[in-house]
Amino acid sequence: MKIVKYLSLVMLFLVAGMTYAQEDSTETRKPGHTNNNRFKQLYEEFSTPNMFRTASGAPGPQYYQQQADYVINVNLDDKNKKLSGSETITYTNNSPDVLEYLWVQLDQNVRAKDSKTPLIESSGATPADMAGSFVNTYMGNPYDGGFKIMEVKGPKGNPLPYTINQTMMRVEMPKKLQPSEKFIFSIKWWYNINNHVTDRARSGYEEFEDGNRGYVIAQFYPRMAVYNDVEGWQNSQFWGRDEFALPFGNFDVSITVPSDHILDATGVLQNRKDIYSKEMMDRYEQAKKSYDKPVIIVTQQEAEAASKGFSNNTRTWKFKAEMVRDYAFATSRRYIWDMMAVKIGDRDVMAVSLYPPEGNPLWEDYSTRLVASTLKSYSRMTFDYPYNKAISVNAKNQGMEYPMICWNYGRPDKDGTYSERTKYGMFGVIIHEVGHNYFPMIVNSDERQWTWMDEGINTFVQYVAEQDFGKTYPAAIAPNETYPSRRGPAKNIVNYMSGDQDQMAPIMTKGLNTYNFGSNAYAKPATGLNILRETIMGRDLFDYAFKTYAQRWMFKHPTPEDFFRTMEDASAVDLDWFWREWFYSTDYVDIGVKEVKTFYVTSKMSSQVRDMMEKRGMKESDLPPLVYMVEEGSEDFDESMKNSTLNDVTTLQEYIMDNMTPEERAALKSPKYFYEVTFEKPGGIPMPIIAEYTYSDGTTERVTYPPQIWRKNDTSVGKVIASDKEITKIMVDPDEETADIDTSNNSWPQRKKLGEFTKFKQDTEQD
Amino acid sequence: MKFLKVALLFLLFPLLTGSTSAHKFYVSTTDIEYVAEKESLQIITKIFIDDIEQELRKRYDPSISLASKKETKADAELLKKNILQKLNISVNGKPVKMNYLGKEYDIETVKVYIEIEEVNSLNSIEVENKILMDIFPEQQNIIHLKTSSRRKSLILDIDNPKGLLKFN
Cβ-Cβ pairs closer than 8 A, A with B, add up to 163
Q: In this model, does residue B148 exceed pLDDT 90?
A: no
Measured between CB atoms, which of A123, A397, A498 is closest to B5? Answer: A498
Contacts 24+ apart (CB under 8 A), A480-484: A483/A427, A484/A424, A484/B107
For A126, the closest of B3, B137, B153 (CB atoms) is: B137
Kindly report the nearest CA distance between residue B107 and chain A, in angstroms: 6
Chain B 31-90, residues with CB within 8 Å of chain A CB atoms: 33, 42, 44, 49, 58, 65, 67-70
Res A396 pLDDT > 60: yes
Closest to A686 measured CA to CA, from A735, A740, A736: A740
pLDDT over threshold 70, residue A752? no
**Which chain B residues contact residue A201 at CB under 8 A?**
21-22
Which of A121, A393, A419, A741 is most worth mutating to test chain B (most B CB atoms within 10 A of its CB)? Answer: A419
Q: What percent of chain A has pLDDT over 90?
A: 69
Across the interface, whether the CB atoms of B107 and A432 are under 8 A apart is answered no
pLDDT at A501: 79
pLDDT tens digits, one per residue of A570-602? 999 999 999 999 999 999 999 999 999 998 888
**Are B142 and A500 inside 8 Å of each other by CB?**
yes
**Percentage with pLDDT > 90 across chain B:** 44
Q: Is B18 on the interface with A (CB under 8 A)?
A: yes
Phi then psi dihedrals of residue A603, to 5 deg: -100, 0
For residue A180, name the pLDDT band (cuts at 50, 70, 90): very high
A130, A486, A500: residue with CB nearest B8: A500
Tell me which chain B residues have a C-beta less than 8 angstroms from the C-beta of A123: 137-138
Angle at A226 between CA A225 and CA A228, to 5 degrees: 150
**Is residue A179's pLDDT more than 50?**
yes
The yes-or-no verdict on residue B8 having pLDDT over 60 is: no
Interchain contact, B18 vs A761, CB within 8 Å: no
Q: Are residues A496 and A508 in contact, defined by beta-carbon separation less than 8 angstroms?
A: no
Q: Identify all chain A residues contacting B23, using CB atoms and an 8 Å cutoff.
A: 200, 240-241, 517
Q: Which range is least confidently modeled, A135-139, A275-279, A645-649?
A: A135-139
Contacts of A249 (CB under 8 A, 6+ apart): A67, A68, A69, A70, A90, A224, A323, A324, A325
- Cβ–Cβ gap A742/B107 under 8 Å: no
pLDDT over threshold 80, residue A700: yes
The verdict on whether omega for the bond into residue A707 sits within 30 degrees of 0, i.e. cis, is no
Residues found in chain A: 767
Q: Which residue of A has its CA nearest to B44?
A: A757
Question: Is A401 in Cβ contact with B17 (below 8 Å)?
Answer: yes
What band does A636 get if pLDDT is binned at 50, 70 and 90?
confident
pTM of the entire structure?
0.84
Predicted local distance difference test score (pLDDT) of residue A652:
84
Query: Nearest C-alpha of chain B: how many angstroms from A277?
Result: 35
Which of A680, A752, A760, A764 to mutate: most B Cβ within 10 Å? A760
Q: Do B5 and A123 touch (CB under 8 A)?
A: no
What are the CA-CA distances from residue A10 to residues A7, A81, A613, A614 (Å)?
5, 88, 12, 15
Sheet of A689-695, strand order: A700-705, A689-695, A727-732, A747-748
pLDDT tens profile B40-95? 999 999 998 888 998 998 888 888 888 888 888 999 999 999 999 999 999 999 99
The pLDDT score that the predictor gives to residue B59 is 87
What's the gap in Å between the CA of A400 and the closest CA on chain B? 4
Instruction: Tell me how far apart the alpha carbons of residues A184 and A189 are, in angstroms, rounded to a whole number.
Output: 17
Look at residue A626 and tell me whether its pLDDT is greater than 90: no
Instruction: Answer yes or no: do A421 and B9 touch at CB < 8 A.
Output: no
B53/chain A closest Cα distance in angstroms: 13
Interatomic CA distance for residues B37 and A453, integer angstroms = 49
Nearest chain A residue to B49 by CA distance is A421
Q: What residues of chain B lie within 8 A of the CB of A516, using their CB?
A: 10-11, 25
Asked if pLDDT for residue A623 goes beyond 60, the answer is yes
Q: Which of A201-215, A500-514, A695-709, B140-154 has the lowest mean pLDDT?
A: A500-514
What percentage of chain A's residues is helix, strand, coil (to nearest 5)? 35, 25, 40
Residue B159 to chain A, least CA–CA distance (Å): 7
Nearest chain A alpha carbon to B14: A518
Would the CB atoms of B6 and A742 count as touching at under 8 Å? Answer: yes
Three-state DSSP class for residue A143:
coil
Name the more confident of A257 and B63. A257
Give the pLDDT confidence score for residue A607 in this predicted structure.
83
**Band of the pLDDT at A9, cuts 50, 70, 90?**
low
Average pLDDT of A214-227? 97
Predicted pLDDT of residue A331: 97
A498, B134: Cβ pair inside 8 Å?
A: no
CA distance A3 to A6: 5
Is A428 in Cβ contact with B16 (below 8 Å)? Answer: yes
* pLDDT at residue B16, rounded to an integer: 31
Q: Which residues of A touch B65 (CB under 8 A)?
A: 413
List of chain A residues whose C-beta atoms are within 8 Å of the C-beta of residue B44: 756-757
Among A337-341, A517-521, A522-526, B145-149, the range scoring the smallest mean pLDDT is A517-521
Nearest CA in chain B to A447: B18
User: In chain A, which residues have their Cβ closer than 8 Å to the Cβ of B12?
Assistant: 486
Residue A131 in this model has a pLDDT that exceeds 70: no
Interface test mutation site (partner A, options B20, B58, B152, max chain A beta carbons within 10 A): B20
Mean pLDDT across the stretch A336-354? 97
Q: With 90 as the cut, is the pLDDT of residue A432 above it?
A: yes
Question: B66: closest CA among A485, B58, B57, A410?
Answer: B57
Q: What is the mean pLDDT of residues B159-168?
A: 86
Cα(A422)–Cα(A439) distance, integer angstroms: 25
Q: Can you tell me the mean pLDDT for A125-130? A: 61
Would you state the torsion angle of the CA atoms of residues A449, A451, A456, A458, taken in this order, to the nearest 10 degrees?
A: 100
Assign A507 to helix, strand or coil. Answer: coil
Angle at A320 between CA A314 and CA A326, to 5 degrees: 95
The answer on pLDDT for A320 being more than 90 is: yes
- Residue A575 has a pLDDT of 96
Q: What's the mean pLDDT in A266-292?
A: 96
User: B155 pairs with which residues across the strands?
Assistant: B142
> For residues A506 and A753, which has the higher predicted lDDT (pLDDT)?
A506
Inspect the interface and report whether the beta carbons of B8 and A495 lie closer than 8 Å: yes
Nearest chain B CA: its distance from A264 CA (Å): 20
Give the pLDDT score at B5: 32
DSSP one-letter code for A441: I
Asked if residue A264 has pLDDT above 50, the reply is: yes
Which of B7, B12, B101 lies at the smallest CB-CB distance from A760? B101
Residues from chain B that touch A744, judged by Cβ atoms under 8 A, are 4
Cα three-residue angle B149-B151-B156, rounded to 5 degrees: 155
Residue from A212, A192, A191, A194 nearest A203 by CA: A194
User: What average pLDDT does the structure give for chain A?
Assistant: 90
Other Cβ atoms closer than 10 A to A702:
11
**CA nearest A331: which of A349, A347, A348, A315?**
A315
Rounded percentage of chain A residues whose pLDDT exceeds 70: 92
Q: Is residue A559 pLDDT above 60, yes or no? A: yes
What pLDDT shows up at residue A754? 65
**Confidence grade of residue A512 (pLDDT, cut at 50, 70, 90):** low
Decide if A466 contacts A485 (C-beta within 8 A): yes
CB contact under 8 A, B5 and A127: no
For residue A614, pLDDT beyond 90: no
Query: CB distance B68–A409 less than 8 Å?
Result: no
Contact B137 A124 (CB under 8 A): yes
| Beta carbons of A499 and B9 less than 8 Å apart | yes
Do the chains contact at B18 and A399, CB–CB below 8 Å? yes
Instruction: Kindly report the backbone phi and psi dihedral angles of residue A149, in degrees, each rounded to the nearest multiple of 5, phi listed first.
Output: -85, 120
Considering CB atoms only, which of A744, A745, A757 is closest to B33? A757
**CB nearest to B17's CB, from A124, A419, A429:** A429
Above 70 in pLDDT, residue A123?
Answer: no
User: Poorest-confidence range of A131-135, A321-325, B145-149?
Assistant: A131-135
Q: How far is Cα A436 from Cα A450, in angstroms, rounded to an integer? A: 15
Contacts of B138 in chain A (CB under 8 A): 122-124
Of the residues B4, B10, B19, the best mutation for testing chain A's interface (the one with the most A CB atoms within 10 Å of its CB) is: B19
pLDDT band for position A513 (cuts 50, 70, 90):
low
Chain A residue numbers with beta carbons less than 8 Å from the beta carbon of B14 are 518
Contact (CB<8Å) B22/A240? yes
| Strand-strand pairing, B124-129 and B87-91 | antiparallel
A25-55 pLDDT per residue, tens: 457 898 998 988 999 999 989 999 999 999 9
Whether A21 has a pLDDT exceeding 60, the answer reads no
Chain B residues inside the 8 Å CB shell of A683 = none
Nearest to A432 among B16, B107, B159 (CB): B16
